Structure 1
Amino acid sequence: MNKIIKNSIKTLSMCLLAATALIGTACSDDDDLTTDYSWNIEGNTTVSIKPERYKLLRNPMSGWVIYAGIGSGMMMDFWNLYDNFESSEGIVKVSDYGNTLYIRGLWSHFNPERGKYVWDETLQTEPAKRFRMLVEGAKERNLKLAFTFVCDSRDKHENACPEYVREAGAEGFTTTTGSVDVWTPYPDDPIFQKEYEAFLTAFAAKYNDPDVTQFVSGFGLGKWGETHTLKYSTGDESPRQAVFEWITDVMSRLFTKVPIMINYHRCLLSTKESGDVDTGISADLVRRAVAKGFCLRHDAFGMKQYYKDWERGIAAAYRGIVPITMEGGWVESSHGGSIAGDGYKNFAEVRQGEYDEAKGGYVNMMDLRFDSNVNTGETHSWFNTAFHLVKEFISEGGYRLYPDRLSIPTTARSGSNVSLTHRWSNLGWGYCPTNLPQYGDKYKLAIALLDKSTEEPARIYIEEKADIATWMSGKPKTYTSSIKLTDVAAGTYTWAVGLVDTTKENAIGILLSARDEYQTAKGWVKVGDITIQ
C-alpha cells in the first residue's frame, strides 16, 4: 500500500472520528451579563474568555467592501496602487482592512457578445483583462468578490447593454452623454428580459459559489443601475409590478448559494429619481423582495436630501432580518461643490456623516470606493481624513461574536452525560446573517473535544437550539447543553467552541472575536481541559 493511500485512509479515519453527534437539550435566555443562569453545575468550573476587539475578521457579509470597476477608468496597476496606499499613518495595504472586492461594470463589459464573458481567458477585451486582473488579485489577498451589472446607458459614454440585444429586436430609447448617443432597452421589453436572464444564468453558473462570491448587488436596472428613474415602453409605470416580479424571481432562482441585494429607496422601480412619492408601493416591494431572499443596500448614505426618515425606517424595520450594505453618496471628484447643501464643510465631515448614518442603520458593510485619481478618491479620503473611522468600523461595525463565559466539566466517565453552560455576546452593531436562505442554515454553534496534541476535533457536538442570527449587541444569549460522551476514549481533551459550516465537514465557518491565545490555527476557541476516565 503506497504512502498516498495510507494517508488518505488516515484522513478518512480522522473524519469519521470527528463525525457530528447531536446535543440532546438546550435552553436560552436574553438576560443581561449579570444574571445567574445554570452556572453552578456540580463538577464544573467557570471560565471567562477575553475578547479581541480590533483584528480584522473575514466573516460572511461583514466589513469594508473595496470597490472597483472594469471600465476605462480602472488602471491595470490597481493592486500595486492599493498595496502601497498613502494614509494619514503612512503607507498601508488597503486589502488589510477589507473583506470583499466589489466589481461594478456595464453588462456590455461582462458580456460583449452573445456567449462570450469576461471570465473566459479567450476574451481579450480591455474590460476582460481588467476583470481577470481584479479577480486574481482578490484571490491572492483573501478577498471574496461581489458584483453589480448596469444595463442602463444614461450618463455613460458607451452602451451599457450589449449590441446583440438590440440586434435581436429589443426596443429601447436613445439618450446623449456629452456628444455620444447611447441606447438603453426598456426593462419591460420581453427580448431584453430573455437576453438578460440568459446572461444572469451564465454568470450564476460561474459565480453562485459562496467560497468565491460574497454577494450580487442590485438588479442593474434604471439610472446608474440603482433601480430608479426607469423608462418603460408604455411611457408610464404600469409595468412596474410585473418587472419587479420578473427580476426578483430570476435572481432568487439563480443565486441560491450567495446573497442578493435590492436597493431600498422610495423610488424603487419608479420612473422618478427622488421625492416623497409612492413610498407605500416601494415599502411593499422591499417587503416582497426580502421575502424572496434579498438583502438591502442603499447608495446615498450621507446625502441628507436622499437618505431621510423613510430610508431610516426601512433599515430599522429589517434590522436583524437581513443585512444592510451602505454606499456613500457624495463623490469627492465630482460633488465637491455640492456638499455644502448638506451642511458639510469638507470631505472629512462627509465621511463622518456617512459613518454616523451607517451606525444608525446598523449596517454590516461599508464602502471604500475607487476613483481613477487615487489621490482624491473616496478610499483616499477615508484613509487620510477619517482613518480612525476605518479602524473603528472594523472594531465595532458588522458583527463580532464570542463566548464570554462558560461552565465546563473537568472530569467525566466515557459514555456519561455532562452539561455545559455558555453565554455568547456580539460586540458589533450589525448581526450575523446565518438566517439567509442562501446559507441554508449551514452555520451552527458547535462544541468540540480537541485532541490535545493536534488540536484537531475528536468529537463535534452541534447545538441545534442556538440561533446565531439573534445574537445582537447588548443582548447576550445563554445556553445549557447536555452532551453524552458516547465512544470517547479515556484521556485528556480540550473543550472548544466554534461556529462551523456544516457543508464543509464542520470546519470553522465564522471566526470568533476571542484573543489569539484561545484560538487554534483553524479557529476553534479553547476553553479548558477535561479528563475522561
Structure 2
Amino acid sequence: MNKIIKNSIKALSLCLLATTPFISTACSDDDALVTDHSWNIEGNTIVNIKPERYKLLRNPMNGWVIYSGIGDGMMMNFWDLYDNFESSEGTVKVSDYGSTLYVRGLWSNFNPERGKYVWDETLQTGPAKRFRMLVEGAKERNLKLAFTFVCDSRDKHDDACPAYVKEAGAEGFTTTTGSVNVWTPYPDDPIFQKEYEEFLTAFAAKYNDPDVTQFVSGFGLGQWGETHTLKYSTGDETPKQAVFEWITDVMSRLFTKVPIMINYHRCLLGNKGFSDADTGVAADMVKRAVAKGFCLRHDAFGMKQYYKDWERGITTTYHGVVPIIMEGGWVESSHGGSIAGDGYKNFAEVRQGEYDEAKGGYVNMMDLRFDTNVNTGETHSWFNTAFHLVEEFIAEGGYRLYPDRLSIPTTARSGGSVSLTHRWSNLGWGYCPTNLRQYGDKYKLAIALLDKSTEEPVRIYIEEKADISTWMKGKPKTYTSNIKLTDVAAGTYTWAVGLVDTTKENAIGILISARDENQTLKGWVKVGDITIQ
C-alpha cells in the first residue's frame, strides 16, 4: 500500500438454516458510545473490532470502473495491456484496483442487424469479437459489467443507429464527421422509439442480471449519449418531456434487477449543451427519474466551467437516496491545451481536481478511462501522476462497512434467549445503496452461529430493523438484538455477523471491512465464541 495513504489515514481502534428466526430489536440513530443500548449485559463480553482500511472490496455499486469499448479503437490485446500496466509504483494489474468493466459502444455495434446482437454466438468478427474478449476477461478477473449505448452519430465515423431503423422509415438528420456523412434519428420519432425499445428489451433479457451486470448507464440519447444537445423533429424542445417519459418508462420497466443511470446536468434532454438552461426543469426531471428508480451520474467532474453549484446541489440532495457515479471531463489526449482555463497546470492537478469534486459529491464510483494510446489515457494518468489517489479512493471512497463494537453472550442454554448489542460504522464518504428498487430490500444484516470446525452457519438470524443504507460516515448505528436459541444443540459455536443476500439462501452479499484473521472464507466476520448447554 502506498505510504502516502498510510500516513494520511489513521487506523481505527453448507449447513443452511431450516427457518429464519425472528429477532426483536431496538435501534437508535447516530449513536454515540453512550446510548440507551446496554453494553454491559450480564454474561456478555465486549468485543472491539479494528477495520481493514485498504483492501479492495468488490461490493455492489462501489469502486473504480475500468472503461473499455467495442468500437474499432479497442485493441484485442486490451487485457494484456491492462494486466501489465506501467505505473509510478511499478507494473500493476489494473483489474486489481477495480470492481467493474464498463463496455461502451454504438447501438449499431451492439445490434448490427435486426434481431442480431453482439452477444450472439453466430457473430464472430468486429465488435462481437471484441465484446466476447472483454466479457470473458471481466469474468476471469471477477469484474461485473456496465454498459452504455450511443444512438447519436455526431462526432462518430460510423452511424450509431443500425441501418434497419432508417430503412424502416425513421426520420433523422445527417452530419459530417471529417469526410464521412453520418445519420442520427430524431429521439421523438415513433419508429426510432419502437426499434430502440425492442433492442433494449432484448438486451435486458440477457443482462438484467445482478450477478453479471453492475449498472446500465444513461439513455444513449444526445451528443456522446450524455442526454444534451438533442435535435428533435420539431426544431425546438417541444417533445422533450414526452421523450423523457418514454425513455424513463421503458428503462425502469425493463431493468428490474440492475441499477440504471440518468445524467444530471442543467441541459437534460435539451437542445443545448453546457449552457445555463432552466435548472428548475432539469431538477424536476432528475426528481421524477429518481422516483422511477434511476441513479445519478455526471460526465464532467473536474471541469469547473461545467460542473458548478447546481450540480453540487444535486449530489447533496440525493446523497443517501441513490448512488452517484462520476466520469472526469478532461481528456489528456485531446484537452491538453484547455485545462489552463480551469486553473490546472498539468494532468496531475486535473486528477486531484476530479478527486476533490468526487469526494465533495459523495460518489460511490470513479472512472479509469481507456485511450487507444495507453501511455496518454486517463488510466495512465491516474496510475502515474496520482497513484496515491487511486488507492485513497479504495480506502475512503464509496462505502466501507464494519462493526466496531459488540456485546456478545458467551454462555447460554439451548432454547433460551440472549441479547447482543452491536454498533456499525461506514468509513467511506458514499453510502451502501441497499435501498435501490432494483435490489428489492434483499440485503440484510445477519447474525450467525458458525460450526467451529467448518465455519459454516448452523443458524442465521436476520436483523430486519437494520437499514444498511442509513449507515453514513461519522454516524454509527447501534442495535440490540434479542435472539431465541430455538433448536440449537448443545456445544460451542462461533458468533459471526455478515451482510447477506436473502435471495441467495443468506449467502454473504456485501463484504465487511474486517481483517482476514477475523473473516471466514465466505465473508462472515467472527466475533467470539458461545457455549450452549
TM-score range, shorter chain: over 0.9
1:27 is displaced (CA, Å) by: 2.1
1:177 is matched with which residue? 177
| 1:109 counterpart residue number | 109
Seen in structure 2, the aligned counterparts of structure 1 residues 156 and 49 have a Cα distance that, compared at 3 Å, is: same
Contact 1:33/1:476, CA 8 A, preserved across alignment: no
Q: How does 1:284-363 map to 2 (within 5 A)?
A: 284-363=284-363
Matches within 5 A, 1:66-85: 66-85=66-85
Name the CA distance, whole Å, in 1 between partners of 2:401 and 2:502.
Answer: 18
| Aligned match of 1:459 | 459
**Retained in 1: the 8 A contact 2:16–2:459?**
no
**1:34 positional shift:** 5.4
Q: Distance in 1 between matches of 2:124 and 2:52?
A: 46
Equivalent pair of 2:27/2:477 in contact (CA under 8 Å): no
CA contact (8 A) 1:425 1:475 kept: yes
Matched, 1:15 2:16: yes
**Is the CA contact 1:29–1:479 (under 8 Å) kept in the aligned structure 2?**
no
Residues 376-403 of structure 1, C-alpha deviation per residue, up to 9 Å, x if partnerless? Answer: 0000000000000000000000000000
1:421 aligns with 2:421: yes
Distance in structure 2 (CA, Å) of the matches to 1:125 and 1:254: 28
* Partner of residue 494, structure 1: 494
Structure 1 residues 133-172: aligned runs within 5 Å: 133-172=133-172
Q: 1:362–1:220: structure 2 CA closer, same or farther, 3 Å change rule?
A: same
Mark the CA change 1:498 to 1:16 in structure 2 (over 3 Å): closer, same or farther. closer
The CA distance in 2 between the partners of 1:16 and 1:363, in whole Å, is: 37
1:93-146 deviation line (CA, Å, top 9, x unaligned): 000000000000000000000000011111133111001100000000000000
**2:188–2:233 Cα contact (<8 Å) kept:** yes
Q: Secondary structure at the match of 2:153?
A: coil
Alpha-carbon distance in 2 for matches of 1:61, 1:373 = 28
Residue 190 of structure 1 pairs with residue 190 of structure 2: yes
How far 1:274 moved relative to its partner?
1.6
1:240 and 1:270 in contact (8 A); partners too: yes
Say whether the 8 Å CA contact 2:230–2:272 is kept in structure 1.
yes
Matching residue of 1:88: 88
In the TM superposition, residue 278 of structure 1 has moved relative to its aligned partner by 1.1
SS in 1 for 2:25: coil
Cα-to-partner distance string for 1:483-520 (whole Å, 9 max, x where unaligned): 00000000000000000000000000000001111100
Secondary structure class of the residue paired with 1:267:
coil
What is the aligned partner in structure 1 of residue 124 from structure 2? 124
Instruction: Say whether residues 1:240 and 2:209 are aligned partners.
Output: no
What is the aligned partner in structure 2 of residue 377 from structure 1?
Answer: 377
State the Cα distance separating 1:36 from its structure 2 match.
Answer: 6.7
2:7 match:
none
Partner Cα distance (1:414, 1:16) in 2: 16
**Counterpart position of 1:223:** 223
SS state at 1:21 partner:
coil
Aligned equivalents of 2:16, 2:279: Cα separation in 1: 53
TM-score by length of 1: 0.97
In the alignment, what sits opposite 2:391?
A: 391
**SS of structure 2 residue aligned to 1:381:** helix
CA contact (8 A) 2:17 2:458 kept: no
Q: Hey, what's the Cα distance between the residues in 1 that align with 2:239 and 2:38?
A: 58
Give the superposition deviation at 1:434. 0.1
CA–CA separation in structure 1 for the residues paired with 2:76 and 2:123:
16
Q: Secondary structure at the match of 1:20?
A: coil
Q: Which residue of 1 aligns with 2:11?
A: none
Q: Secondary structure at the match of 1:238?
A: coil
Q: Distance in 1 between matches of 2:494 and 2:145?
A: 36
CA distance in 1, matches of 2:180, 2:141: 38
1:237: Cα distance to partner?
A: 0.5
CA displacement at 1:31 relative to structure 2:
2.0
Q: State the secondary structure of the residue aligned to 1:15.
A: coil
Offset at residue 25 of structure 1 (A): 2.7
Equivalent residues, number: 520
Q: Does the residue aligned with 1:438 lie in a helix, a strand or coil?
A: helix
Q: How much does 1:24 deviate?
A: 2.3
**Does the C-alpha gap of structure 1 residues 33 and 332 become closer, same or farther in structure 2, counting only changes over 3 Å?**
farther
Q: Distance in 1 between the 2:48 and 2:131 partners?
A: 47
Query: What is the CA RMSD across the aligned residues, in angstroms?
Result: 0.9
Q: What CA deviation, in whole Å up to 9, does each residue of 1:5-26 have, x standing for no partner?
A: xxxxxx6xx3354x42221233
Distance 1:470 1:183 in 2: 47
Give the 3-state SS of the residue equivalent to 1:26 in structure 2. strand
> Match of 1:258, as an amino acid?
V
CA distance in 1 between partners of 2:484 and 2:17 (Å): 17
User: Helix, strand or coil for the counterpart of 1:27?
Assistant: strand
Instruction: Give the counterpart letter for 1:304 in structure 2.
Output: K
Q: Which structure 2 residues correspond to residues 246-257 of structure 1 after superposition, within 5 A?
A: 246-257=246-257
Secondary structure in structure 1 of the residue aligned to 2:444: strand
Relative to structure 1, the CA distance from residue 306 to residue 33 in structure 2 (aligned partners, 3 Å threshold; closer, same or farther) is: farther
Looking at structure 2, the residues matched to 386 and 84 of structure 1 have their Cα atoms a distance apart, in angstroms, of: 18
* Partner SS state of residue 138, structure 1: helix
What is the CA distance between 1:32 and its match in structure 2?
A: 2.4
3-state SS in 2 of match to 1:220 = coil
Instruction: Give the superposition deviation at 1:75.
Output: 0.3
CA distance in 1, matches of 2:121, 2:87: 35
* Amino acid corresponding to residue 354 of structure 2 in structure 1: E
Q: Which amino acid aligns with 1:247?
A: I
Cα distance in 2 for partners of 1:371, 1:264 equals 25
- Which one-letter code corresponds to 2:335 in the other structure? H
2:48 is aligned with 1:48: yes
Question: Structure 2: any 5+ residue segments left out of the alignment?
Answer: 1-13
1:28–1:480: 8 Å Cα contact kept in structure 2?
Answer: no
Please report how far the alpha carbon of residue 276 of structure 1 lies from its aligned counterpart in structure 2 after TM superposition: 1.2
1:6 matched to which residue of 2? none
**Are 1:367 and 2:352 counterparts?**
no
Match of 1:3 in 2: none
In 1, the alpha carbon distance for the partners of 2:348 and 2:25 equals 52
Are the aligned partners of 2:21 and 2:462 in contact in 1 as well (CA < 8 Å)?
A: yes
The verdict on how the C-alpha distance between 1:345 and 1:518 changes in structure 2, with shifts beyond 3 A counting, is same
1:68 offset after TM fit, Å? 0.5
Could you say which residue in structure 1 is the equivalent of 2:269? 269
Q: What is the match of residue 280 of structure 1?
A: 280
- The aligned counterpart of 1:5 is none
Shift of 1:417: 0.9
**Per-residue displacement from partner, 1:58-89 (whole Å, max 9, x unpaired)?**
00000000000111110000000000000001
Instruction: Provide the rounded CA distance (Å) in 1 between the counterparts of 2:399 and 2:33.
Output: 18
Q: Does the CA contact (< 8 Å) of 2:514 and 2:525 recur in 1?
A: yes
Conserved 8 A contact 2:215-2:260: yes
Percent sequence identity over matched residues?
A: 88
Letter in 1 for 2:16: C
3-state SS of paired residue (1:394): helix
C-alpha displacement at 1:361, in angstroms?
0.3
The aligned runs of 1:476-487 (5 Å cut-off) are 476-487=476-487
CA contact (8 A) 1:68 1:101 kept: yes
Q: Which residue of 1 aligns with 2:441?
A: 441
Letter in 2 for 1:337: G
2:24 counterpart SS class:
coil
Q: Deviation at 1:33?
A: 4.1
Residue 404 of structure 1 corresponds to 404
